[in-house]
């Protein structure tokens, strides 16, 4: 896939905005700088890129890395030694002082070379103070003193030394640990140089820090990038700076500054009053604000310019810019503007052209809000062939998409809209169910599993999430032929076998987790097919000795969430607060579950649970036997709860005792 070239691996995930905060060694938290513990936001990571095992991102510069030897970094030239000298060192020498003398000559040569470099004394003085200011385990007051001393050394000379590797790190330390006064002063000194700094391998980190920590200067810094945005997005170093600025730190107006270049030269020419409040208000509306009042050929020219610039980015997937939210926003603005066109044939033509330009890199977009919305729009409006093409592109990344908040919306839309359920079952559903044991560990992954069985259920999806998913519903009514209920039933049937197999193999362990118990419950209640083996998998742990002999692993009935799961299974559905009753699932037989409970768990453990933490569960079990059990089962349970057992329950102080006794009484009548 074009978007998966090695160049794109430079762009990490949820991403970078300067150095990570590190664990401080100071025992007294009051002595820590408030910025030392600041949690730095990260850009969202494309689902096409693996999560780094170390958790570190490639675009972050660690201020504390290589502390021992950092004084010599960036001065590789100083380390170069004449070949003749190297030969002298390597040759065996009979004189024990020869090597020592040789090293003295080398050190002297190094010092001469350093002294010959510009600002050598300034860097020497700055490094001396910087070595004190960067220490990890010093009180905040002492650090601030060193930072002020360091600022005194570099003040007025920042722009002269900032492009050097070691000097850039020194200035970053001032920005990181200094006060707002020091930060603003550095931002002012660098004014007019930010474009060059953003393209530097080392100083790009400083630019990101200033954008993050100097909000008063943010707009002026971003304005220096104007008319160069597209080229900078394709630049290996500057691309991450723009991506961080747009996704993590900029407000609506500041984002409009970064987007303006996408709209073409004509828009830039007629927008020279960007500092004015009316222009700011208009800019906050994005491309929609740009198109206000434009008609006919002029509107077409602006749309064409945006399309041309987008295609330039899309045609360079190896540069990594296609993964950035700023590009996705521009693409979504274009797709939205095309959808507002009055000419239907023109709409279809423009939508088709932009889809063909980016269909091979759609997997690079699904991790952002705008990128996800674009892909969902393509699915909604696409032909059967287009949808098949999209599925083919995203199929290798289904597992990662399931655990991403935005990317999973693309999967949900595909399940909602694509009529060819055989295609979705083979390419999407099977991959989701195969990875159920992994997905069950995260809220996002659990939502993906829930969507196969109970899509848009208010038990598992918030109103806001449902509203986002439903954004493509009006389009679905025009482009999909199959009814929603039929499609949901076919998806549920396709997912059921894999999910029931998951419960059979891993259900008992999954049910011990709070989130896992919810997934297991929904699978048991709503999956289609034979659930006998899955029931046995859940009942076997209940048959173990109660209470548990292993204090580190409580009996399932002693876990509140697991206990609630078993209670709901005996009820056969969820309790509805609106109707004040249990809404039974047509796909699950609680009476069959109760019958299996009698055989598997047995008398002794059932009575032990009734006298312990399982009173409510056993009460529901008795209710199910009374209402739906056979005569033989009712007689068996009546013998279990004889007078001696009932007297023991009456004397106990267990929660649910009274409820349990109410359920036992009818059995004896």
Q: What is residue 293's predicted lDDT score, i.e. its pLDDT? A: 73
Residue linked to tokens 């707002």: 180
Domain-embedded: residue 632: yes
pTM of the model: 0.84
What is the pLDDT averaged over residues 469-484?
92
The domain of 643 spans 547-668
Inform me whether the pLDDT recorded for 91 exceeds 50. Answer: no
Q: How confident is the model at residue 274 (pLDDT cuts 50, 70, 90)?
A: low
CA of 473: how far to CAs of 125, 489, 528, 595, in Å? Answer: 65, 18, 26, 43
More confident residue, 16 or 279: 279
Q: What is residue 204's predicted lDDT score, i.e. its pLDDT? A: 93
Inform me whether the pLDDT recorded for 317 exceeds 70. Answer: yes
Q: How confident is the model at residue 537 (pLDDT cuts 50, 70, 90)?
A: very high
Query: How many domains are there within the chain?
Result: 1
pLDDT in tens, 542-574: 999 898 888 889 999 999 999 999 999 999 999
Inform me whether the pLDDT recorded for 428 exceeds 80. Answer: yes
What is the pLDDT averaged over residues 147-154?
90
Residue linked to tokens 């009818």: 666
- What radius of gyration, in Å, describes the C-alpha atoms of the chain? 33
Domain-embedded: residue 460: no
Domain-embedded: residue 577: yes
Domain-embedded: residue 40: no
Q: How confident is the model at residue 655 (pLDDT cuts 50, 70, 90)?
A: confident
Domain-embedded: residue 447: no
Domain-embedded: residue 653: yes
Q: Which two tokens stand for residue 45?
A: 């990571």
Q: What is residue 126's predicted lDDT score, i.e. its pLDDT? A: 86
**Per-position b or e across 587-621, b if 16+ CB within 10 A of its CB:** bbbbbebbbbbbeebeeebbbbbbbbbbbbbbbbb
CA of 390: how far to CAs of 46, 203, 331, 374, in Å? Answer: 16, 39, 17, 12
Domain-embedded: residue 329: no
Q: How confident is the model at residue 125 (pLDDT cuts 50, 70, 90)?
A: confident
pLDDT in tens, 382-396: 999 999 999 999 999
3-state helix, strand, coil in the chain (%, to 5): 70, 0, 30
Domain-embedded: residue 366: no
Pseudo-torsion of CA 620, 624, 625, 626, nearest 10°? Answer: 100
Q: Which of the given ranges, 39-43, 200-204, 372-376, has the highest pLDDT on average?
A: 372-376
Calpha distance 592→258 (Å, rounded): 62
**Averaged pLDDT of the chain:** 85
Q: What is residue 120's predicted lDDT score, i.e. its pLDDT? A: 77
């Amino acid at each position: 896939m074009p978007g998966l070239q090695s160049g794109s691996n430079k762009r990490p995930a949820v991403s970078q905005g300067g150095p990570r905060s590190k664990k401080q060694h100071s025992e007294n938290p009051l002595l820590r700088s408030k910025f030392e513990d600041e949690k730095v936001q990260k850009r969202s990571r494309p689902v096409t890129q693996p999560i780094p095992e170390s958790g570190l991102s490639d675009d972050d510069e660690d201020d504390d890395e290589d502390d021992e030897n950092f004084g010599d970094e960036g001065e590789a030239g100083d380390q170069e030694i004449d070949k003749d000298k190297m030969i002298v060192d390597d040759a065996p020498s009979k004189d024990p002082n020869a090597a020592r003398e040789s090293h003295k000559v080398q050190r002297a040569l190094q010092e001469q070379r350093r002294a010959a470099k510009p600002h050598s004394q300034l860097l020497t003085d700055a490094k001396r103070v910087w070595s004190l200011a960067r220490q990890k385990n010093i009180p905040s007051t002492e650090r601030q003193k060193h930072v002020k001393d360091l600022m005194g050394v570099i003040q007025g000379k920042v722009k002269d030394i900032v492009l050097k590797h070691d000097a850039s790190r020194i200035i970053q330390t001032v920005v990181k640990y200094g006060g707002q006064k020091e930060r603003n002063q550095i931002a002012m000194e660098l004014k007019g140089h930010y474009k060059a700094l953003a393209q530097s391998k080392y100083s790009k980190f400083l630019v990101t820090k200033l954008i993050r920590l100097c909000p008063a200067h943010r707009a002026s810094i971003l304005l220096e990038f104007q008319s160069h945005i597209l080229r900078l997005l394709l630049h290996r170093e500057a691309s991450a700076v723009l991506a961080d600025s747009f996704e993590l730190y900029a407000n609506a107006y500041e984002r409009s500054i970064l987007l303006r270049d996408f709209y073409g030269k004509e828009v830039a020419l007629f927008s020279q009053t960007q500092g004015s409040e009316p222009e700011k208000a208009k800019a906050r509306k994005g491309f929609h604000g740009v198109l206000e009042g434009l008609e006919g050929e002029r509107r077409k020219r602006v749309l064409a310019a945006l399309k041309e610039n987008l295609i330039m980015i899309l045609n360079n997937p190896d540069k990594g810019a296609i993964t950035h939210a700023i590009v996705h926003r521009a693409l979504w603005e274009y797709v939205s503007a095309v959808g507002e066109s009055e000419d239907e044939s023109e709409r279809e033509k423009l939508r088709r052209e932009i889809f063909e330009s980016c269909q091979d890199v759609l997997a690079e977009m699904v991790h952002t809000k705008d990128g996800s919305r674009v892909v969902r729009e393509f699915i909604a409006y696409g032909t059967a062939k287009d949808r098949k093409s999209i599925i083919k592109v995203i199929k290798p990344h289904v597992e990662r998409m399931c655990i991403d908040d935005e990317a999973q919306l693309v999967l949900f839309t595909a399940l909602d809209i694509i009529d060819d359920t055989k295609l979705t079952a083979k390419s999407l559903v099977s991959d989701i169910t195969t990875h159920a044991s992994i997905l069950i560990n995260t809220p996002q992954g659990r939502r993906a599993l829930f969507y196969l069985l109970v899509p848009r259920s208010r038990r598992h999806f918030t109103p806001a999430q449902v509203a986002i998913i439903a954004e493509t519903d009006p389009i679905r009514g025009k482009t999909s032929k199959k009814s929603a209920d039929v499609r949901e039933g076919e998806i549920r049937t396709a997912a059921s076998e894999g999910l029931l197999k998951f419960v059979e193999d891993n259900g008992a362990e999954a049910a011990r987790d709070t989130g896992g118990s919810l997934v297991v419950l929904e699978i048991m209640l709503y999956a289609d097919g034979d659930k006998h083996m899955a029931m046995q998998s859940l009942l076997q742990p209940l048959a173990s000795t109660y209470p548990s002999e292993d204090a580190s692993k409580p009996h399932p009935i002693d876990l509140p969430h697991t206990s609630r799961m078993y209670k709901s299974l005996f009820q056969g559905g969820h309790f509805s607060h609106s109707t004040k009753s249990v809404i039974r699932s047509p796909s699950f037989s609680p009476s069959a579950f109760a019958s299996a409970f009698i055989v598997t768990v047995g008398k002794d453990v059932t009575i032990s649970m009734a006298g312990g933490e399982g009173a409510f569960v056993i009460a529901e079990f008795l209710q199910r036997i009374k209402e739906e059990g056979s005569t033989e089962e009712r007689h068996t349970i009546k013998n279990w709860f004889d007078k001696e057992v009932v007297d023991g329950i009456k004397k106990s102080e267990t929660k649910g005792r009274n409820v349990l006794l109410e359920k036992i009484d009818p059995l004896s009548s």
